[in-house]
Structure 1
């Protein structure tokens, strides 16, 4: 299975989302609508948002404040907005796996069971399996990857659980991690629709994931090289090198890695390659 590119959209009003839904970025398979970003997160605004013409399916989600949500809504209020979104035609509804069973099965729309961690944890396999066991169309686990060792463990988990789990690395190595997870069977790869307003500070731009990495073309045979530095986000090396690599039909991608010490990476080179 090739990964699907999800572009996260944060909009204050439904009107601001019109152009993004009518003419999405190239390569985008889903637009994720963050209902908690609405200036007035109410049923009327959600209905107006879902009534806009769109060319790709949408994922409606409403983050809890504890998981980075932008509105002070309790679980009941968030579930009510997601129910409105489902009734209004959202193709997928993303809910935390701990509350997903509280949304009535009668609400239309496929489900994404998700779990977002604020810090890396060892022994993530059981947590990943718990999210998968919710029986949703997709299971998603977002985990910080702030070191090469964290990233290696997350990619090992993606290898283990395959397309059953959408692993979403966050943190300093978010961009590299998402590209590398896509090659290991991650079914959903998330990027910001608007580079100036990402879903979280380290979310890569969806257009970059498509244009610079061609994430939909990555697979088990893809190999990786890295440009390392601190800072490294400004580097144009991945764009230039990946254009050349694709031009000569090399199934290799260069990714950026922000590291304090090169020595942290060297023992893990073979695992991350």
Structure 2
């Protein structure tokens, strides 16, 4: 039944003592099972070590002795492996994992001495790709035919759409009451590990800490339990996520996950590393994949893929939020970037001036937008709507000109912006990725060029204070961080996702706790 997947922590320590310590930690942190990786032990004495590990285990144990040829560390002959795995059964291991390639030989070795209390996992690993649905189904049948209690297939995601084939096979196995562990390795396969309960997977793996992964793409135990709330994922849990390339840096899963939990909304929010946006939407078209935040480089593709587009998003030419309408499954595109950024800048300007005016404090100000991509379009449109005189600066002048023509602004090259000082008290908004982690020493504009600005905004929020903002602040210029834009646009997305008011205090507190 979906929604009851176990969370297993692989133990890859070099000594028995370390493994026992990590077992205790895994239990305290909420794991259901530990995987004892015998092939990682530096000096393994089967009878002594298995007795110690299994007699003192605080959690059910899965014992694996993985050879090099299947992604493990063991380089000896299979006879020694078989003997150790049989001993693990005798000492009461809850599960033993054997590779499909030698499963029949292992069963022949047991020759009727198989322990009923130990479930046999027969596994197959593909470190290159994910086969077709038909080939995966055929592989399941082969593993079953050998006599597996539990089928385990681990493949590799070349593209995030590969994971859908694994989900399809897992659902079929669930319908046939065949226990299956189906995982897709790599960053593009991360969703297979998180959505395991939704699609009926028997078990998923999580590492105790970064750097102790036993396979590519394993999340940490704390992320699975605390960010993705995996214990609460069921077959009808809605899936949302941040679609981009890259997405590993995004704080969206922490923020939206906490917000969903706080209002009791049955949903999970995932990082979705997507190469081809249209292909992704076509593959994950079921109503359960209910909505997406969209970041670089897919905001313009999201506009093209929308069935209907909010008029403002259409005018901007970029969509950062997609909602799947429940009544007909159509994709509706919105843009919350411009409201998030413009409102943050307006609030800061009003606060620094001490005046509360009826109109926008941006009215008649020179508003320089750095960058002509999706976020640049959003800022340019928002500033123009508030009555600002918009200037578009971009490394490629033609793109600056294109956007300037769209919003009725003035184009300028990034090089010319260095000496652009038509008046004091201008506003600068950086929407490029220059200065984003890990390139934190980069800046799109020199410190000298910032002197004419009254306020500098940077859409980047990792780091929160970029070099651009730090240098502006050193000159006494008011700054607005990308974190403020991020929280405001995220609140807008939350309301579109759920139809509920955004829990602003909780979302702000959550972001602050990440600093």
Assess same fold via TM > 0.5: yes
SS at match of 1:235: coil
Structure 1 residue 112 and structure 2 residue 121: aligned?
A: yes
Q: Deviations for 1:2-58, whole angstroms, at most 9, x for unmatched residues?
A: 111111110101011122223424331110011111112332563255256222110
Offset of residue 107 of structure 1: 4.5
Matched, 1:217 2:232: yes
- Encode CA deviations 1:53-102: one digit per residue, 9 max, x unaligned: 22211000011211111121232222122122222332211111332332
Residue 91 of structure 2 is aligned with which of 88, 93, 96?
Answer: 88
RMSD of Structure 2 on Structure 1 (CA): 2.1
2:54 and 2:61 in contact (8 A); partners too: no
Rg comparison, structure with higher value: 2
- 1:27 and 2:36 aligned: no
Q: CA 1:46 to 1:220, structure 2 compared with 1: closer, same or farther past 3 Å? A: same
- Aligned-residue offset at 1:134: 3.3
Q: Rate the CA distance shift 1:234–1:85 in 2: closer, same or farther, 3 A.
A: farther
Determine which structure has greater relative contact order: mean sequence separation of CA pairs < 8 Å that are 6+ residues apart, divided by chain length.
1
2:139 aligned with 1:137, yes or no?
A: no
Q: Which residue of 1 aligns with 2:257?
A: 242
CA separation of 1:145 and 1:42: change in aligned 2, threshold 3 A: same
- Name the CA distance, whole Å, in 2 between partners of 1:53 and 1:249: 39
From the superposition, tell whether residues 88 and 53 of structure 1 become closer, same or farther in structure 2 (CA, over 3 Å).
Answer: same
CA distance 1:23–1:148, change in 2 (3 Å): closer
**Quick check: 1:56 aligned with 2:59?**
yes
How much does 1:166 deviate?
1.5
Provide the TM-score with structure 1 as the length reference: 0.91
Deviations 1:195-226 (A, max 9, x none): 22100232111221122222232221111112
Partner of 2:440: none
* Paired residues of 1:13 and 1:45 also in contact (CA < 8 A): no
Cα distance, 1:110–1:219 mapped onto 2, change above 3 Å: same
Q: Once the two structures are superposed, what CA deviation does each residue of 1:158-197 show, in whole Å capped at 9, x if it has no partner?
A: 1221252221111232321222232111111111133221
TM-score, length basis structure 2:
0.50
User: Where does 1:94-243 land on structure 2 (aligned, <5 Å)?
Assistant: 94-101=97-104, 102-103=106-107, 104=110, 105-108=112-115, 109-118=118-127, 119-122=129-132, 123=134, 124-162=136-174, 164=178, 165-243=180-258
Instruction: Count residues with an aligned counterpart.
Output: 273
Q: Distance in 1 between matches of 2:5 and 2:54?
A: 27
